[in-house]
Amino acid sequence: MNDDEPVLLHTEGHILHVTLNRPRALNALTHPMVRLLGEALTRAAADDTVTAVVVDGAGDRGLCAGGDIRSIYEDARAGRSASVDFWRDEYRLNAQIAAFPKPYVALMHGIVMGGGVGVSAHGDVRVVTERSRVAMPETSIGFVPDVGGTYLLAAAPGELGTHLALTGRAVGAADAVLCGLADHFVSSRHLAGLTAELARSTSPAQVTDIVRRYAADAPDGELAAQRAWIDECYAAGTVEEIIDRLMDSGLPAAKETAAELLAVSPTALKVTLAAVRRARRLSSLEAALDQEFRVSCRSFLGHDLVEGVRARIIDKDRTPRWSPAATGDVTDAEVARHFEPLGDQELGLSAV
């Protein structure tokens, strides 16, 4: 194991421990990291001496802040397509994690956003702590939730997933469990003990039992108390109707949410709403990933992703100039275009 490697692998007992190792970049994913993780999982699945895989992030700030947004910006500006190649392998990795035949334990401590959700929330043992902040914040940069995020959020109770998809808000441990993005709360002070005990496990059943013994009730979240207005407002048929309901609700929290939505990419909002609602009708994660790949490829060629990253990450002026600038100017035909098949460039996971 070399500490300079972007993904650290070491075996303790019967556990393969995988650490995303770019702490100064909040362990943001690069294409080599995606490939290394995929290769490690392939070997672990075939290795009878490996009982389970435990995934965490280097440093104490988070598991993973997502993909390398700056590189996507530079790629799009230069007219290259490396980002499309990255997404193709990343989404295949997401499906590989979901289908992994042994316990996949994700320690979702600290920041877990975008691609970080993709390498954790598709596992079957997902642990959050009091410092977890879990989000799919793509609309804030003119993008749409991916890495299977639309599939996960579509399955959340009521309209909670729609709320999180459109706003991109981060949630804590209790709300992550409520929305189906995590399974267990474990205090961060017990993570070292949990990891050490997992290393002594000798069967998949033992792995599950150990995590349950360390688990406790998470501190109270926020979403359960907000279900009434969230479900009522987000049940509307269009983004415009959702914003109107939020504005007219008379609740300060709902009005603040409307203001948030009015500040992000109108195109991203409309495509995200369509993506989540379409994902509800899909039969598998693989089908959702195929859909997300179409949307990501189309978004990559659009205006708002580059502009959103410029305003938020590059220039940091927080004043993106979206085009179109209003939801009413985003046509149904433009939304539908994001979901059109890609011909021989399809991801094709659901056809496998």
When pLDDT is averaged across residues 305-316 and rounded to a whole number, the result is 96
Question: Is 138 an active-site residue?
Answer: yes
When pLDDT is averaged across residues 250-266 and rounded to a whole number, the result is 97
Tell whether the model's pLDDT for residue 341 goes beyond 80.
yes
Q: With pLDDT > 90 as the criterion, what percentage of the chain qualifies?
A: 97
Contact (Cβ atoms closer than 8 angstroms) between residue 265 and residue 142: yes
pLDDT of residue 23: 96
Tell whether the model's pLDDT for residue 1 goes beyond 90.
no
When pLDDT is averaged across residues 39-58 and rounded to a whole number, the result is 97
Question: Is 115 an active-site residue?
Answer: yes
Using H for helix, E for strand and C for coil, what is the string for the chain? CCCCCCEEEEEECCEEEEEECCHHHCCCECHHHHHHHHHHHHHHHHCCCCCEEEEEECCCCEEECCECHHHHHHHHHCCCCHHHHHHHHHHHHHHHHHCCCCCEEEEECEEEECHHHHCCCCCCEEEECCCCEEECCHHHHCCCCCCCHHHHHHCCCCCHHHHHHHHCCCECHHHHHHCCCCCEECCHHHHHHHHHHHHCCCCHHHHHHHHHHHCECCCCCCHHHHHHHHHHHHCCCCHHHHHHHHHHCCCHHHHHHHHHHHHCCHHHHHHHHHHHHHHCCCCCHHHHHHHHHHHHHHHHCCCHHHHHHHHHHHCCCCCCCCCCCCHHHCCHHHHHHCCCCCHHHCCCHHHC
Tell whether the model's pLDDT for residue 233 goes beyond 90.
yes
Tell whether the model's pLDDT for residue 351 goes beyond 90.
no
pLDDT of residue 114: 97
Q: Which one of the listed residues 56, 68, 138, 307 is annotated catalytic?
A: 138
Instruction: Tell me what the pLDDT averaged over the chain comes to.
Output: 96
Tell whether the model's pLDDT for residue 352 goes beyond 90.
no
Contact (Cβ atoms closer than 8 angstroms) between residue 52 and residue 107: no
Please enumerate, as own/partner, the contacts of 340-344 that have beta carbons within 8 Å and a separation of 24 or more: 340/294, 340/298, 341/294, 342/293, 342/294, 342/297
Contact (Cβ atoms closer than 8 angstroms) between residue 349 and residue 92: yes
When pLDDT is averaged across residues 228-255 and rounded to a whole number, the result is 97
Tell whether the model's pLDDT for residue 146 goes beyond 80.
yes
Q: Which one of the listed residues 62, 115, 116, 308 is annotated catalytic?
A: 115
Tell whether the model's pLDDT for residue 2 goes beyond 70.
no
Residue 73 vs residue 351, higher pLDDT: 73
pLDDT of residue 84: 97
pLDDT of residue 4: 81
When pLDDT is averaged across residues 33-37 and rounded to a whole number, the result is 98
Tell whether the model's pLDDT for residue 106 goes beyond 90.
yes
pLDDT of residue 108: 98
Tell whether the model's pLDDT for residue 3 goes beyond 90.
no
According to DSSP, the residues that pair with 171 across neighbouring strands are 134
Contact (Cβ atoms closer than 8 angstroms) between residue 226 and residue 252: no
Write the single-letter amino acid at 187. S
Q: Which one of the listed residues 146, 175, 290, 304 is annotated catalytic?
A: 146
Give the closest residue to 161 by CA, choosing from 288, 245, 280: 280
pLDDT of residue 321: 97
pLDDT tens-digit profile of 122-137? 999 999 999 999 999 9
Tell whether the model's pLDDT for residue 147 goes beyond 80.
yes
Q: Which one of the listed residues 57, 67, 118, 148 is annotated catalytic?
A: 67
Tell whether the model's pLDDT for residue 173 goes beyond 60.
yes
The pair of structure tokens assigned to 105 is 């334990």
Q: How far apart are the first and last CA of the chain?
A: 34
Tell whether the model's pLDDT for residue 170 goes beyond 80.
yes
Q: How confident is the model at residue 332 (pLDDT cuts 50, 70, 90)?
A: very high
